[in-house]
Structure formats: structure tokens, C-alpha cells
Amino acid sequence: MTRYLLPVLLLAALVTVACESTPASTLVNVPDPVTDAPATHVIQLAPDRPAAPLRAPREIGSVLLGTGPDRAEPSDIAIAPDGDMLVSDTRVNQIFAVAPDGTAHPMVAADVPREFQPQRPHSIVPFSDGTVAVGDRTGMIKVYEKQGHQLKPLRVIKAPRVDDACRTAGAMAVRSGFDETSLIRLYDARGGLLRSFGKPFAHASAMVRRAMSGGLLGCLRQGQVIAVSDTLPNVEAFASDGTRLWKTQLQGLHLRQVTTGMGDRGEFVQLEGAQTYDVPAAVNSLDADRILVQFARVTRPRVTNPDADRDKSAIPTKEIEIQIHSLLLSATTGDGRYLGTSLPLVLETTDTRLYATTLNKSGPVRITTYEIDR
């Protein structure tokens, strides 16, 4: 299962381009990739010599989201127990049920109480009892009852800044990146906290900590939880009781750097210190033995005019480039291989299918369903 924060990634990248020219006395803070446990495996990324990719999946259908010039921003896909494809769209702040004919039905009514209105939703977690949990930018989890193509409000679960969520072994795993005590929390369907575990990102600067502490979760069918931090380069697997099973370090990445300092009006500013950097994009369970991990390589245009903040015409118009890289890891050991850039961005998988999208810069977004050869 995948939780991909594409709209957040794009927004953050665009903001850093606009802010890069802000005058500041800065300090580049580079996270320490060494945490409380050594890596059990190391995978060297070699883009010039990728391993043989997966056997090409067979396309069996697709749907379009977004009409006219508007660009849809699907951030997550989940398949409900009744077979509906649920898609969260952060541009229109809505959850859609996509019918087999491609019709997208908005599921959250406009007149629901404010606390149940999705605000840039990024995670969908359907349960077998018909309830659906949605994580969004408010940092809370909104739980609904699915009634046909409608979501009826049930309850709100308050948790420390929800960055991502997925379902595992009857529970919901939530990544709370800015929580200073734990990285992952497990909740039952009614919002009861079952346990918490994992070491969060640590840094002396609260601004850097907030910027770098996010990340993704992937829930495997066997109950394990896979955690990938925005800082990279580690992929970690935990059992449902919090035991760390393995930790794989990826070498050859462009790690993020955060620059902080004072702006020209005396305010704190936060900028990206690297023109090219990698962020996690998706984590999916292909089957009982294999995990597909994808990251996005972001390349920003270089600002050459130091007065760009005062002369808006000097801000570059070149678009940010994003390239998806894929790795295949063993669910048991964490060992694996680099697959290159041939695979599309995968938003969800089931036992026989995967659901992928392309990174459109404008217009409708196509979500394609593939049949995969196990």
C-alpha cells in the first residue's frame, strides 16, 4: 500500500524556488543518516547500470481525473472491500469513488461539519467493517462510514501531525513525524491507541526538525510496517509489536539539505540547500516476499539573480523536473536491487493488480490499472 505526497512534494519544491533568492544569513543543516541501529543491508544505486527491471505489467484499463485545464492531484488510492477504487484529490479537497466506467463520484458532501471536510487529504485507509479513515494536512484522522458512494462522518482521531497512514493486521499505522517520542503509532478502527514505536528524526532546530521529519509508511499483508523518512537514506521494517526487523541503507542518493536563517524582514526562512535531491515517493507490497520502494529525484531550476525576490520578472519560469526511481526489496530481509526509472509511480497494489499514474504538469491525470505477473 502506498501513500504518495505528490502535491506536497510539488508545492514544497515550488516554494523553495521562489524563496531561494531571499537574503538570509544561513546555515546548511545536513541530517545525520546514522540512527540508533546499524544497517543490515546496503544497496548501491547505479543509474548507469540498473538491474533487470520487473516483467512489464499488462495494462487492463485506465480512468482520467480532472477536466479542462485543471490538473488533478491524486495523493492516494485504496480499494474498498466492496471493490470501489477510492482516490484522494488534494486540488479539490475531496475523496472520489471511481466506478468501473470511469465516473468519479465525490464522496464527502459539502455540508458536512468543518472538522470532517478534507483538507489536502493524503491517506485513505478502508476497513473491512465499511469505515474509511482519511489523513490530511490538519494532522488529524477523519473516520467515515462508507454508504454506497458517500462518506458519512463518524469521528475524528487526534494524533501528532499525521504524515501518512496505512492498514495492517486490522489496525491503522500512522506516521507522526513531528512527534518527539515515537515515529509510528498503531490505532484501532475506533481511534484507540494500541502502541507506539520507532525513533523520530532528531535535530536541535525545530524548523529543520519540522521540515525533515516527514516520510512514508507501507503496510505489508503479513502485518509488518515499512518506514521511509524524508531524510532518507534508510528503509526500515517493524513488526506490529514494534520490533525492528531490518534496516536497509541506500547509497548513491542526493540527500536533502535544509538551509535556515533570517530573512530581510527579520523573519525565519527555510530553504532547500540542494538543487537536486531525493525524497521518498511510494512504498508498496507486491506480494508476500517483495516490496516496491520508489523515490523521486527532484531537480530545481537554479536562481542566478540575487535580486529575484524584489524583481519578480527575474524569478525563473523553468519547471521543476521529477524522475521516479524504483527498488525491489525482500520483505523478509530488506536486501534487494535497483530497478532504474522504467516503472510508473505506483499508488496502490492488490493481490493481482497495481494502480499507477504519471506526473502530469497540467490537465487530467490518468490512473492506469495493470495486471501483474506474480
Cell of 198: 520507532
Q: What pLDDT, on the 0 to 100 scale, is given for residue 68?
A: 54
Summarised one tens digit per residue, pLDDT across range 18-54 is: 344 433 333 334 444 444 678 888 998 876 666 666 7
Question: Cα separation of 89 and 123, whole Å?
Answer: 10
What total of structural domains would you count in the chain?
1
β-sheet bridge partners, residue 74? 89
β-sheet bridge partners, residue 87? 77, 96
Residue 72 CB contacts under 8 Å (≥ 6 apart), including other chains: 65, 66, 89, 91, 92, 364, 365
Question: Cα separation of 247 and 174, whole Å?
Answer: 19
B/e letters for 41-69, b = 16+ CB within 10 Å, e = fewer, are: bebebeeeebeeebeebeeeeebebbeee
User: Is residue 311 in a domain?
Assistant: yes
Give 72's Cβ-side CA count (13 Å radius): 22
17's enclosing H/E stretch is helix 6-19
Q: What pLDDT, on the 0 to 100 scale, is given for residue 98?
A: 86
Contact 224, 184 (CB under 8 A): no
Contact 178, 160 (CB under 8 A): yes
User: Is residue 81 in a domain?
Assistant: no
User: Is residue 22 in a domain?
Assistant: yes
Summarised one tens digit per residue, pLDDT across range 127-183 is: 888 899 998 888 788 999 999 999 999 999 877 677 888 888 778 898 876 666 678
Whether the bond between 126 and the residue before it is cis, its omega within 30 degrees of 0, is: no
Q: What pLDDT, on the 0 to 100 scale, is given for residue 230?
A: 77
User: Is residue 197 in a domain?
Assistant: yes
The stretches in the chain having pLDDT less than 50 are 1-35, 306-317
User: Is residue 88 in a domain?
Assistant: no
Q: Do you know the residue count of the chain?
A: 374
β-sheet bridge partners, residue 239? none
**Secondary structure tally for the chain: helices H, strands E:** 2, 28
User: Is residue 348 in a domain?
Assistant: yes
Q: What pLDDT, on the 0 to 100 scale, is given for residue 331?
A: 93
User: Is residue 212 in a domain?
Assistant: yes
- Residue 231 per-residue DSSP state: T
User: Is residue 124 in a domain?
Assistant: no
Residue 359 lies in domain = 6-66+160-371
Question: Cα separation of 348 and 254, whole Å?
Answer: 26
DSSP-H helix ranges across 201-312: 206-212
Burial zone of 138 (CB within 10 Å; 0-12 exposed, 13-18 middle, 19+ buried): middle
